[in-house]
Amino acid sequence: MTSSGRPTALRLLRLAAYRSFYRLPFTWRKRLVRMGSTQYVIGAVTIVRDADADPPGRILLLRQPPGPGWSIPGGILNRGEHPAAGAARELAEETGIRVEPARLRPGVPNAIVHTGGRWVDMVFEVSVPADDALTIDEAEVHEAAWYPLDALPRLTRPTARLLAHYDIGPLAGQAEDD
């Protein structure tokens, strides 16, 4: 408002825009909001630890296409899927390891926001015996192996950055916002 108490042109324009927006049908308003909002892809990953290993322990890593580095099991959640259920599903699909979603412990932190890539990983942890047979999906996974925490192979950059949040891998202690 101006000092005389009258609305400014900008304020009137803004008021007209809001009134027009709220006259639109709900489905159109929802679409407009979604078009203007930042969108993130939501994934779920699992840090799988060897239940029988002595410290420093071992974790399960996968070599997947297209890159040469190693990563942890995970994937994109289906619409409406609970993160723990998605993590359990991806773990079973990629490795043959079947666990109930309730057995997955939320990582601390549980969500890693990768702002540069505009995706969020929900992180879970589980311990399973390494001598259980792995059944890899050869379409998604070239190789799966257990690695000691102090002798990890070359990791993919996103995996190294994610594991750094848990003080694992070459970037341990260097976790920062992605």
Count how many residues are written for the chain: 178
Q: How confident is the model at residue 175 (pLDDT cuts 50, 70, 90)?
A: low
Q: Has this prediction a pTM greater than 0.85?
A: no
How many Å apart are CA 62 and CA 97, to the nearest integer? 13
Question: What is the distance between the alpha carbons of residues 9 and 24, in angstroms, rounded to a whole number?
Answer: 23
pLDDT digits (tens, 9 = 90+) for 139-155: 889 999 999 999 999 99
- Delimit the domains of the chain by residue range: 1-37, 41-164
Per-residue pLDDT, 5: 57
Q: How far apart are CA 123 and CA 45, in angstroms?
A: 5
Q: What is the mean pLDDT of residues 86-109?
A: 96
Per-residue pLDDT reduced to its tens digit, 55-91: 768 999 999 987 789 999 999 999 999 999 999 999 9
Q: What is the pLDDT of residue 152?
A: 96
pLDDT tens for residues 18-44?
788 888 888 888 888 878 776 788 999
- On the question of pLDDT at 15 being above 60, the answer is yes
Q: Determine the Cα–Cα distance for residues 70 and 62; give it in Å rounded to an integer.
A: 5
If you classify domain 41-164 with CATH, what class do you get? alpha beta
Distance CA 167, CA 106 (A): 16
